Amino acid sequence: MINKIQETLFSKKDILITLFTRYSLYSIAIIESFLLPRLIDTDSFSKFEYYKNFIFIFPNFLLGSYSGYIYLKYVKNVDYYKQLFQIGSIISLLLACLGTIVFQNFYLFIPFLVFNIYTLAEQKLKIERKFIPIFVFKPILSILSVSIAVFAYLYYPNSYNYNWSLLGVFGIGFLLWVSILRFKSALFPLQFSLSKIMMLRYILMVRVIVTGVLASFLYSLLIFFERFYIKEYYADYLPTYSMAFNLTQIIAVLISAISYVSSVELGEKIATINKDKLINNFKNAFYLFVLFFIIFMVFVYSINPYYKQFEYLNTITFILSYSKGFFFLVGTISHLAVYNNFNTKMFLFLLRISIINVILIYILIFFNSTVFVLLILDSIFIIIYSLYILNIVFNKVHYTNFVK
């Protein structure tokens, strides 16, 4: 009994330390959100953010092999990390070449490649519960982003180049991150020995969870589509959207830290989850989210006078943050739907509403609707999808430790 209590206390202590560390490190990204638009012109800022956000979703083109690795590790207790990293790296190299051609921008090759490799290595660190090395990477990127912008601002005014900045941020950032990890061979198994069995194992990692990951990928594309149609049809609003999106990440950071740890916690305790306790915990998290949201919007209104170059910043931030914040909140327990094989249903539901959403967006664009109407429509579909996931978690998943 004493051992159980000690184990629980140490577990909670580890989680609290992890959350505190992530909040502390990711506060650097929040500082970047405030400093960068003050240091560079709005056009360069919006383009830098446009490409950066696509780089962040680029690992999704691996079709979820990295999530399949986590799934097989917890559900089947098999470890295929060598296959994941080696084959995933080769595919990432090919994808980076393709992405460079599609965007006609060779500066993106290194960012595409290294962020995919980071994502592959991240999975091994997750399994080993080494969260802090994972959390360090994006703050490094933020520090470099601001450092390059400050250097350009002080020594080369009006000469900031977002392409060189992207290349430097991701290239140097990855090298710094690897040096912090001291290039551990277990994390970067570079002695390639491809074989048929390795290919089959990699395909298995994709196949076991591909529809669930496709849902995540589709959601990421849907969010990027917002940025795309604003860039194409409402270009004057792109800088404001980029700033508002970055501000929204404050809510995302506060909530996703819990989500990130919970994906591992729920995976390890999947057979002993109590439904009533889960519902109660989610209610408490929702109340916390509402409090976060109110404080956040008061904060946004208070800083608005310092960012007058971003017109309608308050309005666009409000629209983005309540829907995406709620989605991140649902993300704290959505892993249960994935671990219980509701991947296909989630993907098909999101696919249907995404098609409807895109069609309606282009109809509204054709009739010259304002950007606010389009963003509100997007937010409604995000809320609908979030509620669908909640319905699965609370009403469809069978819990072995259910208490009536």
pLDDT tens, residue by residue, 118-133: 999 999 888 887 877 8
Predicted confidence at residue 64, as pLDDT, reads 84
Predicted confidence at residue 195, as pLDDT, reads 78
What is the 3-class SS of the chain, one letter each residue? CHHHHHHHHHHHHHHHHHHHHHHHHHHHHHHHHHHHHHHCCHHHHHHHHHHHHHHHHHHHHHCCHHHHHHHHHHHCCCCCHHHHHHHHHHHHHHHHHHHHHHHCCHHHHHHHHHHHHHHHHHHHHHHCCCHHHHHHHHHHHHHHHHHHHHHHHHHCCCCCCHHHHHHHHHHHHHHHHHHHHCCCCCCCCCCCCCCHHHHHHHHHHHHCCHHHHHHHHHHHHHHHHHHHHHHHHCHHHHHHHHHHHHHHHHHHHHHHHHHHHHHHHHHHCHHHCCHHHHHHHHHHHHHHHHHHHHHHHHHHHHHHHHHCCCCCHHHHHHHHHHHHHHHHHHCCCCHHHHHCCCHHHHHHHHHHHHHHHHHHHHHHHHCCCCHHHHHHHHHHHHHHHHHHHHHHHHHHCCCCCCCC
In the predicted model, is pLDDT for residue 210 greater than 80?
no
In the predicted model, is pLDDT for residue 402 greater than 50?
no
Q: Mean pLDDT across the stretch 205-234? A: 86
In the predicted model, is pLDDT for residue 7 greater than 50?
no
Degrees, nearest 5: CA angle 82-88-94: 145
pLDDT tens, residue by residue, 86-139: 999 999 999 999 999 999 999 999 999 999 999 999 998 888 878 778 889 999
Binned at pLDDT 50, 70 and 90, residue 259 comes out as low
Q: Mean pLDDT across the stretch 146-168? A: 93
First and final C-alpha spacing in the chain: 26
Q: Mean pLDDT across the stretch 395-402? A: 68
Least confidently predicted of 29-43, 220-234, 247-261: 247-261
Predicted confidence at residue 143, as pLDDT, reads 95
Least confidently predicted of 225-229, 281-285, 308-312, 313-317: 281-285
In the predicted model, is pLDDT for residue 319 greater than 70?
yes
pLDDT tens, residue by residue, 9-38: 335 566 666 667 767 777 888 889 899 999
| Token pair 């551990």: residue | 184
Measure the CA–CA gap between 58 and 116, rounded to whole angstroms: 7
Q: Mean pLDDT across the stretch 194-212? A: 82
Binned at pLDDT 50, 70 and 90, residue 271 comes out as low
Report the percentage of the chain scoring pLDDT > 90.
50
Least confidently predicted of 19-28, 131-140, 250-259, 319-328: 250-259
